[in-house]
Amino acid sequence: MLDERKGKILEAIILDYAATAEPVGSRAVSRKYGLGVSSATVRNEMADLEELGFLEQPHTSAGRIPSDQGYRYYLDHMMRRSRLGQAEMRRICDVYSRKAREIQWMLRQTAKLLAESAHAASLAVGPHREDAIFRSLRVLPLEGEQALLVLVGDAGVVEHRILNLPPGMTVADLEVFSAYLTDRWRGLPFRRLASTSVREIYDNLSRYRRMLDDVLDFLRERREREGLETVQLVGASHVLEQPEFRDPAKVRVFLECLEREDLMAELLEQREGSTGVTVTIGEENAYPGLRGCALVTASFGMGGRPKGQVGVLGPKRMEYPHVVALVEFVAHSLTQELGRAFRD
């Protein structure tokens, strides 16, 4: 635990560095942040803080910058959450007010909002389709020999595919087929559909073998694509405005990392368990491209269960009080809104 003065100095350095992106010197701390002690005293304290691992020095004759550990301490023990302004809260709510009910679209809007508001990159991953709970299956005849296979899950998950019908299928056949599978599978997660009592189903639907093959094929194909969850990723260019990205090589590593959708999805999904806002800073991130960045995430959910994550990805010196409040509020709003849109 840091004593009060050390704490104040650490905080002063974090705030100043957030604002300027320049190493902070003892003079600046003692002058701007009204501690009532001289720069020499501050220097001594700063030396202590460095030894404790909370600060680092880019080179001998430079000021100090907060280390990962410094930020960690700040977040865990000192940060006061800021409140979002009325205007900002309204803007967030407005995004959802248009009663759009397409979940990927909502996530995209959410990501845009976050990126804008935090002046950083932001990401959002949606409900894991394979985890959705199956509600209903239907095969709808279209003109020609075609039909539309529709599977409905909870949380607004709907999947479809166009099938070519075997000859001689009547509307009644399709009804029977749909009703049987709906009944058989209801309540199961999608990931288990293709492997649940397949033999039995084949026996009972032996007349519709070809169509059943198509359905199972579709489920398998979905499965294959699974890794490729759509991550909504917005605002990379904001992060590039930060002076820490003046080096083009860093830019490239960072962007390459962002483009790895699988990585990003993984990154967010790791946080699935935790509640509230999670922050990882610099080296705490597993991926080298994200060193130098901090990631602030929160889960949103439906019916009490977590269904996805939203997050902000920015430089380590981001304004945590604001960003944390923002991410929290957005996740909360999104949860509410999903509840309203898809209440099952």
Partner DNA sequence: TTTAGCACTGGGCTGGACCGAGTGCTAATG
Partner DNA sequence: CATTAGCACTCGGTCCAGCCCAGTGCTAAA
Which residues here bind a second copy, judged by CB under 8 A?
A: 98-102, 105, 108, 135-136, 138, 140, 142-144, 146, 148, 150, 152, 156, 158, 160-162, 221, 224-225, 228, 234-237, 240-241, 245-248, 251-252, 255-256, 259, 341-342, 344
Distances in Å between the Cα of 2 and the Cα atoms of 18, 79, 110, 207 are 21, 14, 38, 75
Candidate ranges 45-53, 125-133, 234-242, 292-300; the one touching DNA (CB under 7 A) = 45-53
- Residue 233 has phi, psi (to 5 degrees) of -130, 120
Instruction: Pull the structure tokens for residue 166.
Output: 């075997």
In the beta sheet, which residues pair with residue 301? 306
Interaction between residue 26 and DNA (CB under 7 A): yes
Which two structure tokens, joined as six digits, stand for 188?
Answer: 């199961």
Minimum gap (Å) between residue 174 Cβ and a second copy: 12
Residue span binding DNA (CB under 7 A) among the ranges 33-41, 101-109, 154-162, 277-285: 33-41
Q: Which helix (H) or strand (E) holds 341?
A: helix 320-342
Taking the complex as a whole, the smallest distance from the CB of residue 66 to DNA amounts, in Å, to 13
Round to whole Å and give the CA distance between 108 and 160: 21
Which region among 40-48, 80-88, 115-123, 289-297 touches DNA (by CB under 7 A)? 40-48
Residue 86 near which of DNA, a second copy, none (CB within 5-8 Å, type-dependent): none
Query: Per the structure block, which two tokens stand in for 56?
Result: 């680092």
Instruction: Name which of DNA, a second copy, none residue 276 binds, using a CB cut-off of 5 to 8 Å depending on partner kind.
Output: none
Of 291, 261, 296, which Cα lies nearest the Cα of 278? 296
Print burial letters for 140-161: b (CB count within 10 Å at least 16), e (below 16).
eeeeeeebebebbbbbbbebeb
- Residue 310's nearest CA partner among 107, 140, 162 is 107
Residue 35 CB, shortest distance to DNA, in Å, is 8
Specify the stretch interacting with DNA by CB under 7 A; choose among 52-60, 78-86, 237-245, 320-328.
52-60
Which of 321, 282, 335 shows the shortest CA–CA distance to 65? 282
Going by the DSSP 8-state scheme, the letter that residue 156 receives in this structure is: T
Q: How far is the CB of 251 from a second copy (least distance, A)?
A: 6
Question: How far is C-alpha 201 from the chain's CA centre?
Answer: 38
The interface partner of residue 183, options being a second copy, DNA, none and the CB cut-off 5 to 8 Å by kind, is none
The region of 56-64, 118-126, 281-289, 294-302 touching DNA under the rule CB under 7 A is 56-64
Q: How far is the CB of 212 from a second copy (least distance, A)?
A: 17
**CA 203/CA 205 separation, integer angstroms:** 6
Candidate list 6, 21, 52, 57; residue touching DNA; CB under 7 A:
57
Distance between CA 274 and CA 283 in Å, rounded?
A: 20
- Verify binding: residue 199, DNA, rule CB under 7 A: no
Nearer to a second copy, 90 or 160 (CB): 160
Query: Which of 6/161 has CB closer to a second copy?
Result: 161
Contact residues for 266 (Cβ-Cβ < 8 A; gap 6+): none
Q: How far is the CB of 155 from a second copy (least distance, A)?
A: 10
**Which residues form the interface with DNA (CB under 7 A)?**
22-28, 36-41, 43-44, 46-47, 50, 57, 59-64
